Structure 1
Amino acid sequence: MDNDPKHTTKLVTKWLKDNKVNVLEWPSQIPDLNPIEKLWSELKRHGRARRPTNLTELHQFCQEEWARIPLNCCEKLVEGYPKRLRQVIQFKGNSTKYLCM
């Protein structure tokens, strides 16, 4: 929940409250703190570069690109979390330049 509008609609807010889900305060739009956001970003970039012409190609390209993500990239993202956290604090919530791929 990164304060994205789809996560903060009245309907979602009510459901969370009705179901007693505790939601942590979270700075808006800070993908640097969520390792999967970096992977999605890179997947998008690599997929776009292949220029799919239809949804079938897009699906195929995404699967192929996801399979190409090196395991050490995922490990770096997890291991580098403390460093990214310090950078986000240093940059006062602004985006950092951390990439793995």
Structure 2
Amino acid sequence: MDNDPKHTSKVVAKWLKDNKVKILEWPSQSPDLNLIENVWAELKKRVQESRPTNLTQLHQLCQEEWDKIHPTYCGKLVEGYLKHLTQVKQFKGNATKY
């Protein structure tokens, strides 16, 4: 839950309440702690550099560039996670340098 309107709509709020889902408070615009978001951003950057002109090219480039993302890139994200999490905690969920 990131305070996006689609996550805070009355319908969603009712469903969550009816299903007894506990919601944690989360600051708006807080840093994303999901490491896959970094991988998606890297993929997007790589694909945009090739400037696909149609859906077929986009699909092909996504597959090619995904395969080129080396496991060490993901390993570095994991290694830096504790430092990132510590900073987020220090800044009480607000923006960090990451």
TM-score, normalization by structure 1: 0.76
Give ranges in structure 1 of 5+ residues lacking alignment.
Answer: none
Moved over 6 A (4+): none
**CA–CA separation in structure 1 for the residues paired with 2:55 and 2:96:** 31
CA deviation profile, 1:45-76 (whole Å, cap 9, x unmatched): 11111111112221221122222211122222
Q: 1:39 aligns to what? A: 39
**Aligned equivalent of 2:95:** 94
Instruction: Report the structure number with the largest CA radius of gyration.
Output: 2
Give 1:32 shift. Answer: 4.2
- Which ranges in structure 2 are unaligned for 5 or more consecutive residues? none
Distance 1:41 1:95, change over 3 A: farther
Amino acid at match of 1:73: Y
- For 2:9 and 2:70, locate their aligned partners in 1 and report how far apart those are by CA, in whole Å: 37
Superposed counterparts of 1:21-100, under 5 Å:
21-91=21-91, 93-97=94-98
Q: 1:7, CA displacement in angstroms?
A: 1.8
TM-score (norm 2): 0.78
Question: Any idea what SS the aligned residue of 1:33 has?
Answer: coil
What residue number does 1:17 align with? 17
Aligned residue-pair number: 97
Q: CA deviation at 1:89?
A: 3.8
